[in-house]
Amino acid sequence: MKRKVMDKKGLEMAINTIVILVLSIMVLIFSVLFFTGAGNNFLSKIGVYQDDFNVDAVIDNCNFYVDTDAEYSYCCEKKNVKYLEDGEKESGKFNCLEVNERFGGVGTLNCEKVNC
């Protein structure tokens, strides 16, 4: 009697299923940790590599408002600005007019007719 060699296609499917199941569980655990606040520690470690100051980004946004004549956004919306003053890290909320007065580099729009 000859023995039949067992077909292993079913085994491959079981291994693939197990791998996908393990990866899905890992993604689920990461998602739960991230959205429950445990991800803040991870994000704070990543934040070390980000810029501490965003003055240039705010100036770019204000110049975009000038280019698009977005008067309300330019005149009224306060932006969180992080900057360095006298060697100390500072932050504050400024609209684009105040950013231009304090840091310069921003075009101007007429804010007289805008009601904030």
Q: What values do phi and psi take at 81, rounded to 5?
A: -120, 125
How confident is the model at residue 115, as a pLDDT? 85
| Residue 61 CB coordination number (10 Å) | 18
How confident is the model at residue 49, as a pLDDT? 44
CB 85 within 8 A of CB 102: no
Task: Profile the chain (116 residues) by mean pLDDT over runs of 10 residues.
Answer: 59 81 92 72 55 77 88 88 84 89 85 84
